[in-house]
Amino acid sequence: MVKRAATTILRKFFYAPKEPAEVIPSRLAYTFFEDGLLSKLSPLLISPDEETRENAANVLASTLLSISSTIHTVPESQPAILETIIDAGILPNARAPVLPCSGSEGVDMTAEYMLTHLSGCALLIREGNETQQIYAADQECTETLCMFARGLPSRGSFLDTLIADSFTSLLSGNLRQQAKATILRTGGCKEWIEEAAEDPIVSDASA
């Protein structure tokens, strides 16, 4: 039933990673959330059926990216959304299909699973409390941010802004030292942040 619903949704809303904020209108994204679709689709990210996994990842990525761009307009929904991301296990489930490829230069940064992981990470890092941010760090969110930062083809896109804002939150909070360590050991990540900010954010590893 859920698989059929996901397939129907994808037929109506063409998936276009270059403009993720426009994939699913925000009103529909919040309807999906209120109907419990995030919790229902999360387990399907680790389904043994590839088509089921991809359908679930497509809808989750599109929905979470849309919510990421509009969550400040619905503050009353924010706590429940963040709790759902954690309680439904969206982050670990989204990474599970790509773990065999971790560290590979061939990992597709527009893959639905990684976009799901990125958007869930960004919501927890930018909007979450300290406990939720720690959870995000434990789920390798800094690593995912760096992977996307290195692979972005252009500046000024929605993903570009989402990633920059997430790095700003990480580097200004209690997770600063942990985030710095990950950034400094990930090739190209520190340079991307400095370019985005137009001045150095992360000190040299020897500092």
pLDDT in tens, 150-190: 877 556 678 888 999 999 999 988 889 999 999 999 888 99
pTM here is 0.80
How confident is the model over 16-66, as pLDDT tens digits?
443 443 457 888 889 989 999 999 999 999 999 888 888 899 899 999 999
pLDDT number for residue 103: 46
| Calpha distance 117→108 (Å, rounded) | 13
For the segment 124-134, the average pLDDT, to the nearest whole number, is 95
Cα–Cα distance list, 76 to 71, 143, 188, 195 (Å): 9, 30, 38, 35
| Calpha distance 85→207 (Å, rounded) | 36
* Summary count for the chain: helices (H), strands (E): 12, 0
